[in-house]
């Protein structure tokens, strides 16, 4: 083994690249998230990880879920309200057996106008340097996870409609200054 | 070593092992970010099963298992993405902080090692695992682990240019 002591020393002098600073935070979050599903040795786990897994972080995560849930519920309530109000205001009782509903439906849809777009980036990940299409110019690839919310509003009735969906975007950023 | 670790044990353990674990995972991952994801998942799985924090062989076995799963998923994904993205798209992310040309040559030689030798080397040199722990992680005998280590060093020594 002594024959290799020199090469071992050289290898030990090589220092691995340090992990990103947020890795520990991400692991704490992941552990906090995993906690509720656990059933074995519950007492031990609580005692052994209480400081590593602060409850505040878990609460933060639930807060986001709660916010999204509330937004979805609000959109649903507004949409339901709009649907309930429409026959009372515009159509008499007899209208239910006439072709009028088709007319009112297209009419009310046309009255909705775009009211806003919200894009929330909740996670980005740097995927390192790339050389796309044999280019000599390195590009940094960044993957972003976003949630986009589109809103429409009916100016006459005040009703609004909201659609929210997740999306993923990959962007290439030129690297300069090397 | 007691089974139930204190909070500080977990923190200290992870902060000490993280660079080596990420380096170990990088052997199968295409980027540091992927390697960190693998380490994160392994650490959570390890914690969930309440394994002894001192059982490093098991921790590395978890990283390896998840990394291999990730590699299988990643290669399927890469095949799908290759139709849309450039085929020459290449990840250039260093695994080491290289200080001079001799270190660069050493890293290049390291890259040429067979996987089975390199993983033993990574566990031994940068993670200070014993051959018993390496054998446990890789499910091989200690003699096999030791001989792979020696073969790896011999290959590196042969391939490195004289100083």
ipTM of the complex: 0.78
Q: What number is the average pLDDT over the span A135-157?
A: 83
Closest by CA position to A86, among listed A165, A22, A158, A36: A158
| B78 touching A (Cβ < 8 Å) | no
Q: Is the pLDDT of residue A91 over 70?
A: no
| Cβ atoms of residues B100 and B56 within 8 Å | no
Nearest chain B residue to A38 by CA distance is: B48
Query: CA of B35: which chain A residue's CA is closest?
Result: A19
The helix (H) or strand (E) run that includes residue A118 is strand A113-130
**A54 Cβ under 8 Å from any chain B Cβ:** no
- CA quadruple A76, A81, A82, A87: dihedral positive or negative? positive
B89 shares contact with chain A (CB less than 8 Å):
yes
Number of other CB atoms surrounding residue A70 within 10 Å: 10
Token pair, residue A25, equals 């935070």
| pLDDT, position B144 | 95
CB proximity B33 to A under 8 Å:
yes
| Cβ pair B10:A52 closer than 8 A | yes
pTM recorded for the entire structure: 0.51
Q: Number of residue pairs across A and B with CB atoms under 8 Å?
A: 140
**Interface test mutation site (partner B, options A7, A30, A31, A172, max chain B beta carbons within 10 A):** A7
pLDDT of residue A48: 39
Rounded Cα distance, A78 and B63, in Å: 48
Lowest mean pLDDT segment, chosen from A119-123, A166-170, B114-118: A119-123
Interatomic CA distance for residues A121 and B145, integer angstroms? 46
- The reported pLDDT for the residue numbered A2 is 58
Contacts of A19 in chain B (CB under 8 A): 18-19, 22, 32, 36, 39
Tokens of residue B118, six digits: 């390199």
Tell me the pLDDT tens digit for each residue of B124-158.
999 889 999 999 999 999 999 999 999 999 999 99
Inform me whether the C-beta atom of residue A14 falls under 8 Å from chain B C-beta atoms: yes
Share of chain A above pLDDT 70, in %: 62
Q: Which of B19, B95, B24, B26 is nearest to B61 (CA)?
A: B24
Q: Testing the interface with B: which of A8, A16, A52 to mutate, by most B Cβ within 10 A?
A: A16
């Amino acid at each position: 083994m002594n024959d290799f002591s020199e090469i071992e020393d050289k290898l030990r002098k090589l220092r691995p690249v340090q992990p990103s600073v947020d890795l520990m935070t991400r692991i704490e979050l992941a552990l906090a998230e995993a906690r509720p599903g656990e059933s074995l040795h519950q007492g031990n786990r609580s005692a052994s990880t209480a400081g590593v897994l602060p409850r505040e972080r878990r609460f933060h995560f639930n807060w986001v879920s709660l916010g999204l849930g509330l937004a979805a519920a609000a959109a649903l309530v507004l949409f339901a309200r709009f649907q309930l109000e429409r026959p009372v205001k515009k159509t008499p009782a007899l209208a239910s057996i006439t072709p009028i509903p088709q007319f009112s439906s297209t009419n009310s849809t046309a009255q909705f106008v775009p009211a806003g777009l919200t894009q929330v980036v909740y996670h980005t990940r740097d995927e390192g340097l790339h050389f796309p299409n044999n280019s000599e110019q390195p590009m940094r690839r960044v993957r972003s996870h976003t949630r986009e919310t589109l809103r429409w509003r009916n100016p006459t009735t005040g009703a609004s409609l909201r659609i929210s969906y997740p999306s993923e975007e990959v962007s290439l950023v030129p690297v300069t200054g090397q | 070593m007691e089974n139930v670790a204190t909070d500080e044990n977990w923190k200290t353990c992870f902060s000490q092992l993280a660079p080596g674990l990420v380096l170990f995972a990088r052997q199968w991952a295409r980027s540091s970010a992927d390697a960190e994801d693998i380490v994160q998942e392994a650490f959570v799985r390890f914690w969930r099963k309440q394994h002894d924090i001192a059982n490093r062989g098991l921790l590395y076995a978890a990283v390896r298992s998840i990394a291999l799963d990730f590699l299988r998923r990643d290669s399927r994904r890469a095949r799908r993405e290759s139709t849309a993205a450039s085929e020459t798209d290449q990840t250039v992310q260093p695994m080491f902080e290289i200080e001079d040309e001799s270190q660069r040559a050493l890293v290049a030689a390291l890259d040429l090692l067979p996987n089975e030798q390199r993983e033993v080397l990574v566990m031994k040199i940068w993670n200070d695992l014993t051959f018993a722990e390496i054998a446990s992680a890789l499910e091989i005998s200690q003699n096999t682990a030791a001989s792979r280590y020696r073969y790896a060093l011999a290959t590196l020594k042969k391939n490195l240019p004289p100083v």
